[in-house]
Amino acid sequence: MTTQIEHSRGRPPILKRAFAGLILVAAVALAIHVVIGLVMAVFWIALAVALAIVVLWALKTIFW
């Protein structure tokens, strides 16, 4: 006669599931933050290039 309780393959405990959900939320938030950062970097680079082109055009128009 065994007195050990066998573990069933049921759902994990609620705290473990909540912690896993919290990790998923944090990972998604970090991924969104990185994507927004990349989009903003591309935007600022494009804006700087456009500004340089406009300044060169204005200088050419005034002095040539």
Indicate whether 4 belongs to any domain.
Answer: no
Indicate whether 6 belongs to any domain.
Answer: no
Domain count, the chain: 1
Position 11 scores a pLDDT of 80
User: How far is the C-alpha of 56 from the C-alpha of 62, rounded, in Å?
Assistant: 10
Indicate whether 61 belongs to any domain.
Answer: yes
Indicate whether 57 belongs to any domain.
Answer: yes
Indicate whether 51 belongs to any domain.
Answer: yes
Indicate whether 14 belongs to any domain.
Answer: no
Position 7 scores a pLDDT of 59
Indicate whether 62 belongs to any domain.
Answer: yes
Domain with 36 in it? 22-64
Q: What is the mean pLDDT of residues 8-36?
A: 93
Residue 10 has pLDDT above 90, yes or no: no
Indicate whether 45 belongs to any domain.
Answer: yes
Average pLDDT, the chain: 91
Position 60 scores a pLDDT of 96
Q: Map tokens 């912690």 to a residue.
A: 19
